Structure 1
Amino acid sequence: MLNKSLLPLIAIALLASCGGSDNQSQQPIETGFPSCSVPDQNEVFFKFLQNTYLWYDQLPGAINPQAYSSVDAMLDDVRFEQDRFSGFQDRQDYDDFFENATFTGYGFSSDQSTDLNAYIVRYVFDNSAAGLAGLSRGDRLTNINGFSVTQINRELLSNETVFGPDQVGFTINITFEKPSGEIINTQMSKIAVSTNTVFASQVFSSNVGEVAYLSFQNGFIEASDAELEASFAQLGNAGIDELILDLRYNSGGRLSVAANLASLIVGRSAVNDIFTTLTYNDKNSNRNSSFRFTSKLNALNLSRVVVLTTPNTCSASELIINGLAPHMEVATIGTATCGKPVGQNPDFYCDKVLSAINFRTVNSLDQGDYFDGLPPTCLVQDQIVADWGSLDDPVYAEAVNYVNTGSCSAPTASKSRSRQSIELTTSPSRLDYQALLTGHLH
């Protein structure tokens, strides 16, 4: 299980390699403090910020490295006010998420914000203890390890108290309710969970032809490319005319994976065109570069894609929407995205990874800066009440309606993004980024 205190950092990790982790070697920096002490790390990481931070000109001229109890405290003090994305994490957590795709836990994600009396299961990883216990999307966990969720919320019990230590074999009793109303009491034990990112892939026939639905969650990570290629190979054999792409709980990751996914969707009509352009600060303008659409054997060659969104749809997920929009129609169903048109290449020192914003992203029409999120074409509040691809899911049901009719079932101010224009509106109030991921991994 991931500790509750690590969740914001994992959220950052989902974004930290947006644009690709270049892992450039750093020149040694002499600080005068013991190596890897807190003051030493404060000074080294501040110097990294002075060189690569997108908003380096908004930093103080200098800091007192001894004035901060941690690198997190230092960053919180010096960050630019618009920056709600930069952060630190331990190197092992970073490697486990991006490279190893593993963690110790039961293997599911939950929404803990919408029901004070239950944790709602967002998704369950393949071959996980949670899956073997019978958990699936839409289930309501009401009792965990002897604690009712009502008690957990009332007493603010810690994740370790409720779910136990990060120890393979640790076993808990759980009670959960299926959407059908069936109550199940069972046990599950922690294992080394191998995370997947494709959670569902299915095809159905409609009055516009063959429609594919693909649920892609939990990051754009190293393993995603192979999963996506396999899924699109199957979809290509089905002669797909339309695609519903579910990115509701995908908060980003590697930009190279996003470029591959976009290429698989749009296909031959955009090959060699710009998908997104990265612009660094004026000290690093030599690093400015573009990702282009590439030729893909399993590309669907579509003219429209319908994307499901929530405030957890972030970074690389938003690049899919913004980057495809000049080349095809992109309709979004759900709620506004998180608003992250910027990205990070990580800096490493001691056992810490600094993922600080150091470039902005725009599409081939130079459109970006959607810090208030990308608005939905059809506004529908997310409700986790059924498994993937069920018409009982109101967001999915609205997407199916849009595919069939080309319009929303209820009026919405936004329009679909198309080759002609992109409408980037602002939301009157947006959640702080650290509050976006209210669903947790266990």
Structure 2
Amino acid sequence: MIKFNKSWLFAILLLFILTACKKDDDNDKQEETTVVEVLDEIMKEWYLWNDELPSLDVSNYNDLNTYFNDLLVDQDKWSFIANLDALLAFLNNGTYTGYGFDLQFEEGNNTPRVSLVYDQSQLYDAGITRSWKLLEINNQTTSSMNEDQIRDKLRDNSVSLLFENNSGEQKTLDLIKKEMNQNTVINSTMIPGQSKKVAYLVFDSFLGSSKAELNEAFNYFNAEGAEELVLDMRYNGGGSTEIANQLAGLISGNTYQGEIFSKYIFNESKSSENFNEAFSNQASAYGFNRVFVITTAATASASELVINSLKPYMGAENIKLIGSKTHGKPVGMNVFEVEKFNLAVLPITFHITDKNNMGYYFNGIPVDHAVEDDTTHDWGDIDESNLKAALDYINNNAFPAVTARAKKGYKREFVRKGLDELISAF
């Protein structure tokens, strides 16, 4: 999760602005610091594990990313540096350059399926949705390619793709990369034909643009008189803690406004920065007595924060997790702007807990009902295994005895890190 300052224009994160500073020598001369010196200064002061930083010889490095990664402790899988302009564009509006979709593999299957499509993607315009198979890239079958080969092909500025749906219909799209904004609410709908009025929300990232999208979704649920909520965050890797606070308030209906939402604990030398954050007031808050959350190992950071922080208020029995255990990131980062070098430094800087100091879930948050991620159905399809499990509980007060249980074999993954992991799309 990423923390910004509420006084910043977009009111998203606690932002520490650090430009390349200057220092006086004995002759009162001004000498500009190097990017490595600025990086070292940030890490020594703010890094959560700053007492474990190694002493590195910068002359052995010709790449800043490699130098930065070698500073990190083994436990830290998340700290990164990035182009400042690109990072802020994404955190504000989900802006990135790409094709506007992502892929997932089924376990034991070498042909990837479309896992999500953004509204500004050409796939969306062509009617290609989650569950379609990607059969070919530039006339080469994806089943004959490894993950790196698929990813490398989709890094090109143009590509020809052949898709097929579950009925055998095929479509070929010739795509050119373009700048677009990711919508973070992928789907918000009411599920028909249930014993109660069930709201279904697919939420993909906690970004500045999420605020209006979430308010619109909950205003819709309010107008429809929703009684139950299924919150699908299976691919949500996190983002702004302020948006996490917003989502928690929308779900709980401002019931806990002013009470502790989360606690932030910095390194020992920065313990004076420790603080508690209260639930903020949400004009579009609706309020549910319980929530069913669909999760996978890609559910991380701010997503886990919402789950962990609501449990002591709503009760663990009223927050049902379905799918597979979450990623396990009970820590967060601040954004340090180094404007001179157009560099953003995002080191892990704090632990985060609920009001009762519960956190430290580095092994992930376990689920109440294990179900395989089902990419063979579109969002909101009542036959999709995770949504079906939630609906069975809502209708029968129990999870199904027979379901698509989470498998434990090998599943191919597209490995991403840093800003690529935040964007998490082709």
TM over 0.5: yes
> 2:172 maps to which residue?
185
What secondary structure does 1:331 align onto?
strand
Q: Say whether 1:310 aligns with 2:304.
A: no
> 1:57 maps to which residue?
51
> 2:120 maps to which residue?
127
> 2:9 maps to which residue?
none
> 2:376 maps to which residue?
385
Give, in whole Å, the separation in 2 of the partners of 1:379 and 1:29: 55
Q: Say whether 1:91 aligns with 2:84.
A: yes
Give, in whole Å, the separation in 2 of the partners of 1:175 and 1:352: 38
Q: Is 1:52–1:358's contact at 8 Å kept on the other side of the alignment? A: yes
Q: Say whether 1:372 aligns with 2:333.
A: no
Counterparts of 1:102-181 in structure 2 under 5 Å? 102-112=95-105, 114=107, 117-153=110-146, 156-157=148-149, 159-162=151-154, 164-165=156-157, 170=158, 172-181=159-168
* 1:47-70 deviation digits (Å, cap 9, x = unpaired): 21110011111113x432222222
Q: Is 2:191–2:380's contact at 8 Å kept on the other side of the alignment? A: no
Q: Say whether 1:213 aligns with 2:195.
A: no
Q: Structure 2 counterpart of 1:287, which letter?
A: E
* 1:145-191 deviation digits (Å, cap 9, x = unpaired): 2322134329x5364545522xxxx4x33211112222223433333
What secondary structure does 1:173 align onto?
strand
> How far is the alpha carbon of 1:400 from its aligned partner?
1.1
> 2:235 maps to which residue?
249
> How far is the alpha carbon of 1:282 from its aligned partner?
2.3
Give, in whole Å, the separation in 2 of the partners of 1:363 and 1:204: 32
> 2:224 maps to which residue?
238
Q: What runs of 5+ residues in structure 1 fail to find an aligned partner? A: 1-14, 413-426
Q: Is 1:113–1:438's contact at 8 Å kept on the other side of the alignment? A: no
> 2:332 maps to which residue?
343
Q: With structure 1 as the length reference, what TM-score do the two structures score?
A: 0.83
The alignment yields a C-alpha RMSD, in angstroms, of 3.0
> 2:400 maps to which residue?
409
What secondary structure does 1:142 align onto?
strand
Alpha-carbon spacing, 1:158–1:301, altered in 2? closer, same or farther (3 Å): closer
Q: Is 1:112–1:438's contact at 8 Å kept on the other side of the alignment? A: no
Alpha-carbon spacing, 1:162–1:274, altered in 2? closer, same or farther (3 Å): closer
* 1:215-237 deviation digits (Å, cap 9, x = unpaired): 101x1001000000011001011
Q: Say whether 1:399 aligns with 2:390.
A: yes
Alpha-carbon spacing, 1:435–1:376, altered in 2? closer, same or farther (3 Å): farther
- Which of 246, 258, 276 is matched with 1:260 structurally? 246
> 2:425 maps to which residue?
441
> 2:211 maps to which residue?
225
Give, in whole Å, the separation in 2 of the partners of 1:438 and 1:98: 9
Give, in whole Å, the separation in 2 of the partners of 1:18 and 1:387: 34
Give, in whole Å, the separation in 2 of the partners of 1:268 and 1:233: 14
> How far is the alpha carbon of 1:278 from its aligned partner?
0.8
- Which of 182, 186, 191 is matched with 1:199 structurally? 186
> 2:16 maps to which residue?
24
> How far is the alpha carbon of 1:126 from its aligned partner?
0.7
- Which of 235, 257, 273 is matched with 1:287 structurally? 273
> 1:6 maps to which residue?
none
> How far is the alpha carbon of 1:377 from its aligned partner?
0.7
> 2:353 maps to which residue?
362
Counterparts of 1:317-336 in structure 2 under 5 Å? 317-328=303-314, 329-336=318-325
Q: Figure out how many residues of one structure are paired with residues of the other and give that number.
A: 400
Give, in whole Å, the separation in 2 of the partners of 1:118 and 1:432: 12
> How far is the alpha carbon of 1:344 from its aligned partner?
0.4
Q: Structure 1 counterpart of 2:246, which letter?
A: N
> 1:11 maps to which residue?
none
Q: Say whether 1:79 aligns with 2:66.
A: no
What secondary structure does 2:175 align onto?
strand
Give, in whole Å, the separation in 1 of the partners of 2:335 and 2:413: 22
Give, in whole Å, the separation in 1 of the partners of 2:246 and 2:305: 12
Give, in whole Å, the separation in 2 of the partners of 1:146 and 1:374: 41
Q: Is 1:334–1:381's contact at 8 Å kept on the other side of the alignment? A: yes
Give, in whole Å, the separation in 1 of the partners of 2:414 and 2:354: 23
Q: Structure 2 counterpart of 1:404, which letter?
A: N
Q: Is 1:18–1:252's contact at 8 Å kept on the other side of the alignment? A: no
What secondary structure does 2:15 align onto?
coil
* 1:121-152 deviation digits (Å, cap 9, x = unpaired): 11111132121233210110111223221343
Q: Say whether 1:68 aligns with 2:61.
A: yes
Give, in whole Å, the separation in 2 of the partners of 1:438 and 1:93: 12
Give, in whole Å, the separation in 2 of the partners of 1:175 and 1:208: 40
* 1:275-312 deviation digits (Å, cap 9, x = unpaired): 11111112222322222223333222222111000011
Q: Is 1:304–1:330's contact at 8 Å kept on the other side of the alignment? A: yes
* 1:198-255 deviation digits (Å, cap 9, x = unpaired): 11111135665211000101x1001000000011001011111110000001100000
Q: Structure 2 counterpart of 1:347, which letter?
A: F
> How far is the alpha carbon of 1:405 from its aligned partner?
3.0
Alpha-carbon spacing, 1:44–1:215, altered in 2? closer, same or farther (3 Å): same
State the identity as a percent. 30
Alpha-carbon spacing, 1:233–1:250, altered in 2? closer, same or farther (3 Å): same
Q: With structure 2 as the length reference, what TM-score do the two structures score?
A: 0.85
What secondary structure does 2:14 align onto?
coil
Give, in whole Å, the separation in 1 of the partners of 2:81 and 2:400: 43
